[in-house]
Each structure stands twice: as C-alpha cells, then as structure tokens.
Copies of this chain bind each other. A is one copy, B any other.
Amino acid sequence: MPSKALIQKVSSLSHKKFRDELGLFVAEGDKLVEELINSSFLVQHLFVTQSSALKDYNHPGKELVDEKDMKRLSRLKTPSPSLAIVKIPDQKLNTEALKHQLSIVLDGIQDPGNLGTIIRLADWFGINTVICSTDTVDCYNPKVVQATMGAITRVSIHYYSLTELLPALPHDIPIYGTFLNGSNIYSTTLSPYGMLVMGNEGNGISKEVETLIQHRLHIPPFVRNEKGSESLNAAIATAICCSEFRRR
C-alpha cells in the first residue's frame, strides 16, 4: 500500500511548482507508462493494479496496488491500471544541430491539449525539437503528458525566452512564422530546415517575437465571404504547416 506521503507527493505533482521543485512528473495508462519505461526517461515509481498489462513487469520501483489505492493516486476520473512517477529529463539544446532540421517554436500556447497534440504531431513529422516560450503551458502538466500519447519520450522540449534565444541562433537558420497576413504557405518555397514559430491560441505571435521572424507565412482560408471561421485551432494550424514543410 502506498504511504500517505507518497500519495501526497503524487497529488502535489499536478502543480508546476512542485514538479519543478521535485524534478518529477506523473504519467498514467499502460501504453504511455510502457513507452516511458522503454525510453531514456527514468521511472522512479511504478504503481500497477491487477488489471494492468504491466503487472508482471520487472521494474525496481514497481508496487502492486489495489483499485482503491489507485483511485487515491490517480488524477483521472477513471483511474488507469498503471501510474508512474518519472524524472524530468535534463535535455540540452544543441543549437548547431538546429541548422539541419525543422523545429517547432511555440509562443505562448496555453491549452494543455494543444501542446500535447503538437508534440504528438511533431513526432509524426519527424521533428525532434520543440522550443517553448517561458509562458507556454508546462509540458509535464499531466494533461499535456497524456495528450502526447508517448511522443514526449521522443521529442525533446525546451523552455526559453524566445526574444533571447532566436537572435542567438546561428544566422543561417531561417525563422518562419504564421500570421493573418503573409505569403500563401501552399505556394511559398519552404526550406527543409529552420524554425517554425506558432503563436498563442487567441493572440497569435507576440509583438516582440514578430520582429524576429524572417519569413511570414499565411494559411489561406477557403471561404467565399467574410462569414467563415476567423482562425484555426493552434494545433491544427501547426499540423497544416508541418504537412506543407514535409511534403516537398
């Protein structure tokens, strides 16, 4: 049976403050937890119930718990059969490597589901690096972790002040951003590498970051009058941009 202190620790990890202090985050669900165990991430504790596919897993931090205890540990309405406490990795950003790859830069994404979905689609499109502004939602927020569907083990995620990082990058890395005015992404020549900056859900790219963007892109809507939707969901816009960069 997990101690009261451990249950409190898991509970505290739903807050960024305690994740930062303890350097830990929580993941739930057999598929996600298995991906974490098989990745370079360090799983410190692994709680499994009898119904978990991981219950016979040979893991030093494993503890078999009953469903009542799992209910105490879990933050989900319907608890999963497994829950892991995982160490937040210490990932270094290699700015030289950015020269040869396409990377996603997020300027103030607020919705955990959007961030998780963007990490998942980055993985699908073979994008290894996602750089987030310091006001972007924390990628170790449980809702983000769940929405990545395991992609968080394969995409390295970094938090920086974008106004400090972007000017410090090697100068031959092109910086793209999407705006309401910009060149039509479908007909613009796109580099196979560079930084693709996507903005906040409501306000787009911030004024400060906008001045650092070299190539303004625009996803044209397909409406015949002004009555259509004004914008796309942030994750959807990111997907369309990545699809355009990658299909060429």
Contact = CB atoms under 8 A, between A and B. Distances in A.
A123 interface: yes
Given A239-B239, A247-B186, A126 B222 contact: yes
Given A222-B246, A247-B186, A233 B120 contact: yes
Q: How many copies of this kind of chain does the complex include?
A: 2
Contacts of A246: 222
Contact of A222 (B125, B221, B236): B125
Contacts of A222: 124-126, 246
Instruction: Determine the interface band of chain A, counting residues with CB < 8 A from chain B.
Output: 20 to 34
A227 B39 CA distance: 10
A236 B123 contact: no
Interface centre among A121, A124, A224 (most CB of B within 10 A): A124
Contact of A236 (B117, B154, B221, B227): B117
A232 interface: yes
A243 B126 CA distance: 19
Nearest to A118: B236
Interface in A233-247: 233, 235-236, 239-240, 243-244, 246-247
Name the 7 nearest CB pairs between A and B, nearest first. Answer: A126-B222, A186-B247, A123-B229, A236-B239, A124-B229, A240-B243, A125-B222
